[in-house]
Chains A and B, each alone.
Chain A
Amino acid sequence: MAKHTHPFHMVDQSPWPLTGALSALTLTMGLIKWFHKMNPNLLMLAMFITLVTMIQWWRDIIRESTFQGNHTSIVMSGLRWGMILFIVSEILFFASFFWAFFHSSLSPSIELGSSWPPSGISPFNPFQIPLLNTAILLSSGVTITWAHHSIMENNHPQSLQALFLTIILGLYFTSLQAWEYWEAPFSIADSAYGTTFFVATGFHGLHVIIGTSFLSICFIRLMFFHFSPNHHFGFEAAAWYWHFVDVVWLFLFISIYWWGS
């Protein structure tokens, strides 16, 4: 490690940015091959390369921070800003799908029968599974806050318990949504309703799975005592992401499930 008189972390040479860029290329080419040649092999390879890049890159960050102690408070501040800006970009990503939904639903075209839901669509009853899912995510918000406080109070057994509960709730949400998707009377191809519904809730579901994975990694790290009561940014980042996912669900529930029925 070079000596320097500034608090920033000058990282060592790493191949993961290059493999990450190559994995992005392979992903796009793989999608094209899948769409046009009906062959998913390149895409499967691309997903594998992407996954392995992520694992190794983040593993290296853990090694540099938790084990080698390179993350000063300034470095952590930079990471905080980075996570915040990333989540802001995700919010804008979802904003586009909400815009599409409101564009189609506020003034339904004559081809839909000038009504929303369009003629022939039977939407889900918002007060059955969707309401349960709302309760699940809100509760998971409580449990993750409990876990955070437990970490800050150096209560290891409770922090494990609370984080474990959060993950279980996340998995429960995902399985309920998957069942709803399977049982749905309409598909993504059924008018603007199907499109806006499945694209918005689908991307949300994907983000829940990402959030659950992030929390699971935190759980494993927590088991191995990586977090200290006042330095646990990995956990905080996961918690912020999880709250974001919860808030997006609340907007989805109110606009698409409830108002949109």
Chain B
Amino acid sequence: MSTSIMSNVEALSTAPFDARFPNQNQTRNCWQNFVDFYRCRKVKGDDYEPCNYFKKVYQSLCPNSWVEKWQEQIEEGKFAGKI
């Protein structure tokens, strides 16, 4: 990818404050958005744009190693969360 991500200051944005998870331990925040993305996709289909909100949030919050591990588990049918 050789195009720049953004060209000005105003474009900096990230996952917003989620009042459901106000404290230091954000493990559940990451997990919940990950699960919500897959559930949204399952219910609404792959092309439904608003599902990508969850995707953006979990990509910002979740360590990449966790995401890879969970995606592998989903493929193998071993993921613990209900999708």
Contacts and interface: CB of A to CB of B under 8 A. Distances in A.
Interface in A75-134: 110-115, 118-120
Interface of A: 110-115, 118-120
Nearest to B31: A110
7 contacts: A110-B28, A110-B81, A113-B79, A113-B80, A114-B31, A115-B82, A119-B81
Contacts of A111: 80
Contacts of A112: 80
A113 B82 contact: yes
Nearest to A107: B28
B82 A119 contact: yes
Contact of B28 (A113, A114, A118, A120): A114
A111 B69 CA distance: 12
Contacts of B31: 110, 114
Interface in B4-31: 27-28, 31
Contacts of B27: 110
A111 B79 CA distance: 9
Q: Which of B27, B80, B81, B82 has the most CB of A within 10 A?
A: B80
A118 B79 CA distance: 11
- Report, as a range, how many residues of chain B touch the other chain: under 10
A98 to B, nearest CB: 24
Interface in B35-83: 79-82
A110 B70 CA distance: 11
Contacts of B28: 110, 114
Nearest to B35: A114
A118 B80 CA distance: 8
Contacts of A120: 80
A112 to B, nearest CB: 6
Contacts of B79: 113, 119
Nearest to A119: B80
A193 to B, nearest CB: 12
What 8 A-B pairs have minimum CB-CB distances, sorted nearest first?
A113-B80, A110-B31, A119-B80, A113-B81, A112-B80, A110-B27, A111-B80, A113-B82
Given A111-B80, A113-B79, A115-B82, 12 more contacts: A110-B27, A110-B28, A110-B81, A112-B80, A113-B80, A113-B82, A114-B28, A114-B80, A114-B81, A119-B80, A119-B81, A119-B82
